Amino acid sequence: MDQALMALLTIVIGVGGCVGYFWASNIVLDKVIFPARGLEAGRNISRANMVRPWLFLFPALAALGLYLAYPVFATAWLSLNRNEAGELVFVGFENYRQMFGEDKFWESLRNNMVWLIVVPAMSTAFGLLAAQLTDRIKWGNIAKSLIFMPMAISFVGASVIWKLIYDTREEGQAQIGLLNAIWLQFEGGIWSTVLVQDLARGGAWIKLFRLIGIAVGAGLIYVALSWALGAATAELPYGKPQFWLQIPFWNNFFLMAVLIWLQTGFAMVILSAALRGVPEDTIEAAIIDGANPFQIFFKVKVPQIMGTIVVVWTTITITVLKVFDIVRAMTGGQQETQVLANYMYDKLFVAVDWGVGSASAMIILLLVTPILVWNVWNARKEMR
């Protein structure tokens, strides 16, 4: 196993090199450059202490500078140039002009905006719900652990998992995708199957439960109709297997579901810790004042953890802006599912157009910037 040997060697050299560097540079500083003896012993010690932080910081700063800070400027520069036969030619904002003229760019920007609203909102909402509910039951920790689990799964793995759910086989064949299997249960419209079709079967008790179900369902229908008349009256192709990932616009939501599924656990863990940090006496006071559990949750707890909710929201927002693997693996950005990160990848490595690719990378940076500024501002505030 040459490869394993090489990896092992790299670890040894890497770690050994680090230790060696820190150790040797300290020795050199203390013994050779500013020795703590002779006439200037005191001054030398304080001088050495002035330099030492930079010795400690140097490898990290060098790596950060080279691998993150420099590329930002280099990309900004690349976005103003065109790569013509290996030569960079300065073209000003021509790349941006070209990009703004492309439908695919606007499509990815539009999709990204929808992603930016839906995914953080849904993940945070589900996370909050899961955090609140699991804190109140005995097997809550197991439940948490299971909801948290997708965190360990790669975006690509999740794409495979969800592709199986969205799988479509032709009409008449057995559907192996869970979503289509469920969809096909709704032949002849969603309510007819659930409530009416099966009413005739079953014993008296079951009939009674069904009647209750109908009553509840009727209420739900009424509510649903009142806020989504259009959606409720739309002619949906019930009874036919659907190609979920090929329905324009809505397929975006099927991709978003994957990321929501992945990110909810993260939101839940952090919000759960925040909920536990809510002072007991505020809750007790609310109880004494006769608040019901919902009021306690929405009017006492949620306002107190608002700061954490914002942090979770922004963290997921950043993940969304970088989302690439899911779109790449599931649709490749086809059928109107393009997003910025994948658009950028296509430009950079498929079309090999560094100018426009860099320009789109700059758009991603631009979208991240408000969060960046906000984070830095918060960190500064905290340190004072």
Partner 1 sequence: MDNIAGKKPALTWAVHLSVGLLVLLWVIPTLGLLVSSFRSGDQIVSSGWWRALFTQEQQMSPMRIEGEEVQKDGVFVIEGRLFATASTVSAWGTSSREPAAYAPGETADLGDGQTLTVQADGAFVFSSSATTEGTRLPRVFTTAATPPEFTTNNYNTVLFSPMAGQSIFQAFMNTATVAIPATIIPILVAAFAAYALAWMEFPGRALLIAAIVGLLVVPLQLALIPLLQIHNAIGIGKGYLGIWLAHTGFGLPLAIYLLRNYMVGLPRDIIENAKVDGATDFQIFTKIILPLSFPALASFAIFQFLWTWNDLLVALVFLGTSNDQQVLTGNIVNLMGSRGGDWEILSASAFVSIAVPLLVFFSMQRFLVRGLLAGSVK
- Identify residues 32-51 at the interface with partner 1 (CB under 8 A): 49-50
Q: Considering only residues 98-127, where is the footprint of partner 1 by CB under 8 A?
A: 126
Q: Considering only residues 233-262, where is the footprint of partner 1 by CB under 8 A?
A: 261
How many residues bind partner 1, per CB under 8 A?
Answer: 127
Give the span between the Cα atoms of 202 and 316, in whole angstroms: 47
Contact between 85 and partner 1 per CB under 8 A: no
Q: Minimal distance in Å, beta carbon 40 to partner 1? A: 19
Q: Considering only CA atoms, which of 46, 14, 47 is closest in space to residue 22?
A: 14
Contact between 134 and partner 1 per CB under 8 A: yes
Contact between 300 and partner 1 per CB under 8 A: no
Tokens 């300065």, residue? 90
Q: Minimal distance in Å, beta carbon 202 to partner 1? A: 21
Give the span between the Cα atoms of 245 and 330, in whole angstroms: 8
Contact between 143 and partner 1 per CB under 8 A: yes
Q: Where are the beta strands (DSSP E) in the chain?
A: 81-84, 87-90
The CB density around residue 260, as the number of other CB atoms within 10 Å, is: 23
Decide if 159 contacts 326 (C-beta within 8 A). Answer: yes
Contact between 194 and partner 1 per CB under 8 A: no
Among 32, 39, 68, 85, binds partner 1 (CB under 8 A): 68
Give the span between the Cα atoms of 27 and 71, in whole angstroms: 34
**Residue 261 tokens, joined:** 């599924």
Q: Write the DSSP symbol of residue 298.
A: I
Among 116, 232, 318, 335, binds partner 1 (CB under 8 A): 318
Decide if 132 contacts 126 (C-beta within 8 A). Answer: no
Among 124, 128, 183, 325, binds partner 1 (CB under 8 A): 325
Of 139-147, 198-206, 208-216, 221-229, which part binds partner 1 (CB under 8 A)? 139-147
**Residue 71 tokens, joined:** 């590329």
Among 255, 256, 274, 309, binds partner 1 (CB under 8 A): 274
When the beta carbons of 44 and 159 are compared against partner 1, the nearer one is 159
